[in-house]
Amino acid sequence: MAEITKLIHKYLRHDKKFPHVFCPGCGIGIFLGSLIRAVDSCGFKKDEVVLVTGIGCTGRLAVYVDFNTLHTTHGRALAFATGIKLVKPNLKVIVVMGDGDAIAIGGNHFIHAARRNVDLKAVVVNNSVYGMTGGQYSPTTPYGAKTTTSLISHIERPFRISELAIVCGASFVARSTVYHVKLLDDLLKTSFLKKGFSLVEVISHCPTQYGRMNKMGSPVDMLIWQKEHAFPVEKEKEMNEEELKDKFPIGVLADRDFPLFEEEYEKLRKKLKDYRKT
Amino acid sequence: MGKKNKKEVLLQGNEAIVEGALRAGVKFFAGYPITPATEISEILSARLPQIGGTFIQMEDEIGSLAAVIGASLAGAKAMTATSGPGFSLMQENIGFAIMAEVPCVIVDCMRAGPSTGLPTSPSQGDVMQARWGTHGDHPIIVLCPSTVYECFKLTIFAFNFSERFRVPVILLVDEVVAHMRENVCIDDEEIEIVNRVKPSVPPEWYIPYEDTPSGVPPMANFGDGYRYHVTGLTHDIRGFPTTRPDEVDPLIRRLFRKISQNFRDVQIGESFQTEDADLCVIAYGCVARSAKRACIEARERGIKAGLLKLNTLWPFMRTEVEKILARSKIVIVPEMNMGQISREVKRVNKGTSKVFTINKIDGTPITPEEIFLKIKEVY
């Protein structure tokens, strides 16, 4: 067994009923491997990691890994995670969501979690579609794309998840694709070690629903699409409007320090110690 | 215990709920401002940090209950407080807490609805929502105080039941009781505090959703070394999702059984001169106060009237109500809704009594006079 496979096996739940639910060619498996490598390289113990997920294809990955795992209601993963983190601040709380999960039904929780700056490690696996329910358009479905609820052409503009997190005040925001898996490993590790609310957006692909509807070819073709449409954020300044068209930057998009909710709350506890309402 | 040890204080219903929660050991509160429940948030925002606990105001009521459930999974006794519109939003995660068996307490200070309704006026319109609001078939414990002291006591009971049975427990308070002030003694040391049972086996032996005689599996907290999976999907005894009928059926039956085999412990009520009553009033919340006054006045005029006060609304106190129906020819159920508990009373009535209702839905409380007039009318 290759070293890399051995490492992943160390973190899987072997008493769980495999096989998993993901389609052949899905990007979520690549991301899960990356997540495990990042946790391992951070040196986190299994007992101190809490993996919280929402609903949808991405939500299903929690059950396969040997951490404290919580598969919540649709869109609410960040709110559940907030409760866990505030009661046990020593735990490493990683929250994995899909695009519909985090930005549509969970949009309110997402923007406020980013603003509040509780030390949560959010990851949004963005495949531009509701995969589990059969391929309906999501808030990140591109204009003009075909889905089972936009049969001719999608008429809405997509959300840019990372940019949304930046303006909401997230401490750390980064984007990668599942094609750029080495970069993804590094970004996840950096975000896990960063203090404050962090977001890693993972551009992934859904060959079964989105790929088929939009004639994007095989999963490999979709990975090549990711390679061709992503560019390192450092090169953005050198690129002209024509080169930037339909492309998206990957890498660290924001890295800042804001007051941490938990630390501010600890100060509040001291200030309120002798407070009596008069 | 000598009376001299007990100190009486003037408290509001919502304040008494806070005192009860703190006495029960609450360490986490997440909520969203809403009238008439806001006092609970305001007081806990100052009191919880003082004892090392945490208060957080979330972006909405959905997130509030989600955070409460997360906090409880991490080991803290946790609660939220809201009113009708927020209670509607919480239904989704009430179902999650039932399915994943996470203890928590939800206070709903009822105001008149539907929708935004009458934000500062009383109602008892959420009785059925508390029972059936979340989707899917499920059991639920709902407690309802009618005095400020009961706000204190039933909040402790709510936490005790939630910890003992690993269920969300709903405290249904009407606006009158929530905002009423009474002299109460809250240093009641005699009320026992119950904490969730933790696993006594090493992590490798731990089966998180194992069936037990009580129907309640021991609960490990996140971070205590017992790594397990929590989900709102139907799951097997290991907590892993399943669709196998032979695993789904025992799970759902156990969720019911853990409460149904303890009906006697969770059903709390109070009888007032019902032993010889020809006519009995069945009431709850602030209406029970008016009903008691009306029964006293009726007795003064020679009508043998009694009162059964329900402190537990769900599971419905069928046995106690059946006793009343067997004894009294006339039963009156006054409610500040169009007949939510009276429907249950009529359901269990085997034709031995005539059941009358008083239904008030104009945002004002039912007065003793209104109940007394009804007693005179139907007696």
Domains contained in chain A, CATH given: 3-230+253-272 (3.40.50.970)
Taking the C-alpha atoms of residue B39 and residue B81, their distance in angstroms, rounded to an integer, is 9
Q: Is B117 left (phi over 0), alpha (psi -120 to 50) or beta?
A: left
What is the structure's pLDDT at B275? 95
Share of chain A above pLDDT 70, in %: 99
What is the structure's pLDDT at B273? 96
- DSSP states along A123-142: EEEE-SEETTTTSEE-TTPP
What is the structure's pLDDT at A213? 96
CATH C-level class of B3-185: alpha beta
- In degrees, rounded to 5, the angle at the alpha carbon of residue A78 between the alpha carbons of residues B104 and B36 is 50
What is the structure's pLDDT at A261? 98
The pLDDT confidence band at residue A278, using thresholds 50, 70 and 90, is low
What is the structure's pLDDT at B378? 96
Find tokens 């100190």 and name the residue. B7
- In degrees, rounded to 5, the angle at the alpha carbon of residue A122 between the alpha carbons of residues A118 and A123 is 175
| Number of other residues whose CB lies within 10 A of the CB of residue A58 | 31
CB contact under 8 Å between A83 and B74, yes or no, is: yes
Q: Quick check: helix, strand or coil at residue B13?
A: helix
Per-residue pLDDT for B2 more than 70?
A: no
Separation in Å, CA B131 to CA B144, B199, B287, B326, B336: 13, 30, 20, 26, 17
ipTM of the complex, rounded to two decimals? 0.97
Bridge partner list, B229: A69
What is the structure's pLDDT at A277? 65
Average pLDDT on B40-46 reads 97
B9–A contact, CB cutoff 8 A: no
What is the structure's pLDDT at B225? 96
- Strand segments (E) across A162-273: 172-177, 198-203, 230-232, 248-255
Per-residue pLDDT for A26 more than 90?
A: yes
B52–A contact, CB cutoff 8 A: yes
Convert the pLDDT of each residue in B332-341 to its tens digit. Answer: 999 999 999 9
Taking the C-alpha atoms of residue A66 and residue A14, their distance in angstroms, rounded to an integer, is 9
Query: Which residue, among B91, B80, B86, B83, has the nearest Cα to B29 in the 3D structure?
Result: B80
> Min CA distance, B278 vs chain A (Å)?
51
Convert the pLDDT of each residue in B217-242 to its tens digit. Answer: 999 999 999 999 999 999 999 999 99
Out of B49, B78, B232, name the one closest to residue A269 (CB): B49
Q: Are strands B181-185 and B8-12 parallel, antiparallel or unpaired?
A: antiparallel
Q: In the predicted model, what is the mean pLDDT of chain A?
A: 96
What is the structure's pLDDT at A15? 78
Taking the C-alpha atoms of residue B157 and residue B267, their distance in angstroms, rounded to an integer, is 11
Nearest residue in chain A measured CA to CA from B45: A272
Report the residue count for chain B.
379
Q: Which fold has domain B270-378?
A: Rossmann fold (3.40.50)
Out of A62, A63, A87, name the one closest to residue B71 (CB): A87
Per-residue pLDDT for B190 more than 60?
A: yes
Taking the C-alpha atoms of residue A222 and residue B158, their distance in angstroms, rounded to an integer, is 53
Average pLDDT on B103-132 reads 96
The pLDDT confidence band at residue B182, using thresholds 50, 70 and 90, is very high
Exposed, middle or buried: residue A43 (CB in 10 Å: 0-12, 13-18, 19+)?
exposed
CB contact under 8 Å between B228 and A16, yes or no, is: no
What is the structure's pLDDT at A252? 98
Query: Which residue, among A210, A208, A199, A158, has the nearest Cα to A176 in the 3D structure?
Result: A199
What is the structure's pLDDT at A205? 97
Which tokens belong to A122? 């959010």
Q: Are strands B279-283 and B330-335 parallel, antiparallel or unpaired?
A: parallel
Find tokens 């009474």 and name the residue. B182
Q: At what angle do helices A161-168 and A107-116 cross, to 10 degrees?
A: 40
Out of B67, B231, B241, name the one closest to residue A79 (CB): B67
Taking the C-alpha atoms of residue A42 and residue A48, their distance in angstroms, rounded to an integer, is 12
B54–A contact, CB cutoff 8 A: yes
Q: Quick check: helix, strand or coil at residue B217?
A: coil
Which tokens belong to B156? 């402790």
Per-residue pLDDT for B5 more than 70?
A: no
**Does B270-378 match B3-185 at the fold level?**
yes
Q: Are strands B168-174 and B141-143 parallel, antiparallel or unpaired?
A: parallel
What is the structure's pLDDT at A74? 98
Find tokens 């929402």 and name the residue. A54
| pTM: predicted TM-score of the whole model, two decimal places | 0.97
CA-based max dimension of chain A:
70
CB contact under 8 Å between B73 and A70, yes or no, is: yes
Kindly report whether the peptide bond that precedes residue B114 is cis, defined as omega within 30 degrees of 0.
yes
Q: Domain spans of chain B? A: 3-185, 270-378
Could you give phi then psi for residue B217, rounded to 5 degrees? -75, 150
Per-residue pLDDT for A83 more than 60?
A: yes
Per-residue pLDDT for A98 more than 70?
A: yes
What is the structure's pLDDT at A3? 83
> Min CA distance, A45 vs chain B (Å)?
10
Out of B58, B227, B231, name the one closest to residue A47 (CB): B227
* CB contacts < 8 A (A, B): 138
The pLDDT confidence band at residue B189, using thresholds 50, 70 and 90, is confident
Q: Which residues contact B55 (CB under 8 A, 6 or more apart)?
A: B28, B29, B30, B41, B44, B45, B48, B49
Average pLDDT on A191-203 reads 98
Q: Quick check: helix, strand or coil at residue B181?
A: strand
Taking the C-alpha atoms of residue B87 and residue B123, their distance in angstroms, rounded to an integer, is 14
What is the structure's pLDDT at B227? 96
CB contact under 8 Å between A71 and B93, yes or no, is: no
> Min CA distance, A278 vs chain B (Å)?
13
Convert the pLDDT of each residue in A117-169 to its tens digit. Answer: 999 999 999 999 999 999 999 999 999 999 999 999 999 999 999 999 999 99
Chain A residues touching residue B240 (CB < 8 angstroms): 16-17, 63
Higher pLDDT, B142 or A5: B142
What is the structure's pLDDT at B146? 98
Which tokens belong to B288? 């029970």
Average pLDDT on B160-179 reads 98
Four-point Cα dihedral B56, B64, B169, B356, nearest 10: 120
Taking the C-alpha atoms of residue A41 and residue A193, their distance in angstroms, rounded to an integer, is 10
CB contact under 8 Å between A46 and B62, yes or no, is: no
Out of A46, A69, A109, name the one closest to residue B229 (CB): A69
What is the structure's pLDDT at B186? 85
Per-residue pLDDT for B3 more than 70?
A: no
Average pLDDT on A200-221 reads 97
Chain B residues touching residue A111 (CB < 8 angstroms): 59
Q: Which residues contact A77 (CB under 8 A, 6 or more apart)?
A: A52, A53, A54, A59, A70, A95, A96, A97, A101, A102, A106, A109
Nearest residue in chain A measured CA to CA from B30: A83
Exposed, middle or buried: residue B264 (CB in 10 Å: 0-12, 13-18, 19+)?
exposed
